[in-house]
Amino acid sequence: MNDDLADSNGRTAAPRPSPRQPDFDVPPLSQDNVFDALASKRSRYVLIALREAEDHLDLRELVDTVAAWETGKPIDLVSEEHCQRVFTSLRHSQLPKLATMGLVEYDEADDVVARGPYAEQADAYLDIAASRDDNVQL
């Protein structure tokens, strides 16, 4: 199977990899981009958990925190199915999107997540979101 892409002239070109890291030569995130990133409660929980961490978080630890906040229960009362859904969502959707925006740094090989270079731009909005969410335990 040929995975090459055809250009407008019918020539084949190698596929371009999806960007995983932000281009640091561009200006900081726009307010619309910050709002887009924070539209998902799960993404907000990721950013709040990372802000409260001293350093980076292991993906499993992040999954447990997010799953507990989502359900409003201690992690030992959260179903394994829910934790698996959170894991899959974070690994394949939320973390790559947040990493592309520069809000997190996600090492897929080691399953480690840390705050990204643009994370501070979301902090004021996270303060409001966290103060209005009774499930977030800081």
- CATH for 39: 1.10.10
User: CA of 102: how far to CAs of 105, 108, 127, 138, in Å?
Assistant: 7, 15, 19, 24
- Structural element, H or E, at residue 115: strand 112-115
Q: Give the model's confidence band at 42: pLDDT under 50 very low, under 70 low, under 90 confident, else very high.
A: very high
> Is 69 inside a domain boundary?
yes
SS3 93: helix
- Domain assignment present for 123: yes
* SS3 category, 98: helix
**119 in any annotated domain:** yes
Q: What is the pLDDT of residues 44-61, one digit of tens each?
A: 999 999 999 988 999 999
With 90 as the cut, is the pLDDT of residue 136 above it? no
Whole-model pTM: value is 0.76
Tell me, yes or no, whether 53 lies in a domain.
Answer: yes
Closest Cα partner for 50 from 100, 98, 86? 98
What distance in Å separates the CA atoms of residue 27 and residue 51, rounded to the nearest whole number? Answer: 22
Instruction: Domain count for the chain, please give it.
Output: 1
- Element (DSSP H or E) covering residue 13: strand 12-13
The residue type found at 79 is S
- Provide the mean pLDDT of the chain: 82
Residue 97 lies in a domain: yes
Mean pLDDT of 74-98: 96
Alpha carbon distance 83, 80 (integer Å)? 5
Identify the domain containing residue 116 by its residue range.
Answer: 28-131
Q: What is the dihedral of CA 70, 75, 80, 81, to 10 degrees?
A: -10
Note whether residue 138 is domain-resident. Answer: no
Query: Residue 86: which pLDDT band, with cuts at 50, 70 and 90?
Result: very high
State how far the Cα of 86 lies from the Cα of 90, in Å rounded to an integer.
6
Is there a domain that residue 17 lies in? no
Residue 108 lies in a domain: yes
